[in-house]
Amino acid sequence: MKTFDLHCHPTLKPMLTLQKHRKSPWDEVDNIANKIFDSQSNLNQLLDGNCNLACVGLMAIEAAFLKGALVQTVAGPVRYIDKRQIRRMARKVKGYCYPDLLEQEIDSVINNAVNKEEPWERVKWINSMDEYEPDDMDTLYLIATLEGGHALYYGRNESSDINIITDKLKEYRKGDPLRLLYLTLTHISPNVFANHAYAIKILGKKPFLPLGNGISDMGHQVIDTCLNARWEGKPILIDIKHLSMVARKQFYAKYSDKPIIASHVAVTGCSWSTKPIAKFRKKKAHPVYKVKYERQRGHINGTRFNPDSINLYDEDIKAILRSGGLIGLILDERVLGYAKEEKKTSKEFISDSEWNEFIAPMPLAEQQHRHMDDDENQLDEEEERQNEEEETLLLVGEGAKRSMAQQRNHLLHLLNNIMHIMIVGQTMDKPVNPGKHIVIGSDFDGLINAIDCCPAAEDFEFLQYNLEEAIELYASDLIPDPAAFVSDVFYNNGVEFLNKHF
């Protein structure tokens, strides 16, 4: 069965080494069984997974991430991560600024068009589906996307001249150097375009705290340049992944006439009006609120949802479906809601500026009841330190052993997310088939902790077979034809969408 991936990073991990020592995107980055740093979607792995069409998330890794003590520590002990490369990127040394890194990622495919080990295999950037040959399974056709508006900065970290930024987007619209399918407006640290949802739970919190308020004026100018037909070239769709809840609301209110992309996501399992907030507390040191959730049970026994606001609320799902967009399901175990059984809570941070809209419609008396007192906060901080230590060990160690039971659990968490999208979609006033708007957006090689039932792109076929079987057992009432549904999710839906919009 063929596979299409809406969001993966086959060119990213080689960027963590110096250019003169850099592996090609065909080569495997093998850090001795570390799931997070090992290759998950190099060009070989994608082709081995019957994937001949994929969207590459071009991503200039943010300086905030590279300056983290943990990244500096693992550079060296973890193979294929070079401290010199990390430090130069973090300091934005000449030749290592965001635009330079993007250019190198793009060129890594152009300069390695042929697999040296198996020369009948090739890779090719495309600017239109007219260039795609569906039956050519020896060629991997790649579509460029851009993850993080910070990658549009120029020079070392300049962003004040919006005209330079929008001119760059106009070049991308015309396919120079490549046409972008979509832009992910923000990422894991603050930028000038929009506030982000909190995502990084290790490496120290401060550089990753969401401090803004929705979409800025510059952000609206960027979106207009991407979407408005008055500009030459083809529109660049907007990916709402990583936007804060408030920023997403603002986006839907103004731009829902174009197809909305959610490229690599999971769902919260609730409405944004009924968030499962257990406790919250205003932080003294930073202009944010800490929010602690109860992780709600899923539709399948033993599963839970991840309630963090980086995931889709029911209203997000409906907005995407109404727009004719795509929901790309991430294959990261934690984002999908999996955690140790004893971990029944989750935490994140919300910007002061967005707090009133985020906490609404909770009455003031209820807010006072849920406010975390000093003793509760002290216990919570200790629990958080322990969680961060566990995450750190996972990042630098060999990762958890893949038992059959854990593989099954991860599979059911993926299906639980699918079921919720189907259920929400079927409640909409305007008839829509939600199953036609779900695809895979694995986020492979995006430094994720991949699900054990599909740790890399070469395992796509195994995942398809097991998902079809799980649907028959747990969701046949929602999905009466599991085989057709799986074919749609893994390939047909994406190709049909691209034929319309690319």
Query: What pLDDT does residue 30 have?
Result: 76
**What's the whole-number mean pLDDT along residues 34-53?**
92
Q: Pull the structure tokens for residue 298.
A: 């899923």
The residue whose two tokens read 């068009």 is 113
Please report which confidence band the pLDDT of residue 32 belongs to, taking 50, 70 and 90 as the band edges: low
CATH code for the domain in which residue 263 is found: 3.20.20.140
SS (H, E, C) 91-155: HCCCCCCHHHHHHHHHHHHHCCCECCCCCCCEEEECCCHHHCCCCCCCEEEEEEEEECHHHHCEC
What are the residues whose beta carbons fall under 8 Å from the beta carbon of 307, sequence distance 6 or more? 268, 269, 270, 275, 276, 293, 294, 295, 296, 346
- DSSP code of residue 16: G
67-71, 146-150, 164-168, 176-180: lowest mean pLDDT where?
67-71
Which of left, alpha, beta for 3 (phi over 0: left; psi -120 to 50: alpha)?
Answer: beta
Please report which confidence band the pLDDT of residue 394 belongs to, taking 50, 70 and 90 as the band edges: low
SS (H, E, C) 329-393: ECCECCCCCCCCCCCCEEEEEEEHHHHHHHHCCCCHHHHHHHECCHHHHHHHHHHHHHHHHHHHH
- How does pLDDT run across 1-25, given as a tens digit for each residue? 899 999 999 999 999 888 888 989 9
What is the rounded distance in angstroms from the CA atom of residue 205 to the CA atom of residue 65? 11
Count: domains in the chain? 1
**What's the whole-number mean pLDDT along residues 179-207?**
91
Please report which confidence band the pLDDT of residue 401 belongs to, taking 50, 70 and 90 as the band edges: low
The residue whose two tokens read 């990127």 is 89
Distances (CA, A) of 309 to 316, 345, 425: 11, 14, 19
| Structural domain boundaries, residue 136 | 3-501
**What's the whole-number mean pLDDT along residues 291-314?**
97
**What's the whole-number mean pLDDT along residues 161-170?**
97
Query: What pLDDT does residue 34 have?
Result: 60
Percentage of residues of the chain with pLDDT beyond 90: 80
pLDDT above 70 (res 291): yes
Query: Quick one: which of 100, 96, 78, 79 has its CA closest to 87?
Result: 96
Please report which confidence band the pLDDT of residue 66 belongs to, taking 50, 70 and 90 as the band edges: confident
**What's the whole-number mean pLDDT along residues 363-389?**
89
Please report which confidence band the pLDDT of residue 386 belongs to, taking 50, 70 and 90 as the band edges: confident
Query: What pLDDT does residue 340 have?
Result: 84
For the purposes of burial, counting CB atoms within 10 Å of the CB of 11, is it exposed (0-12), middle (13-18) or buried (19 or more)? Answer: buried
**What's the whole-number mean pLDDT along residues 295-313?**
97
Query: What pLDDT does residue 439 have?
Result: 98
pLDDT above 90 (res 41): yes
Task: Name residue 76's beta-bridge partners.
Answer: none
What is the rounded distance in angstroms from the CA atom of residue 245 to the CA atom of residue 258? 19
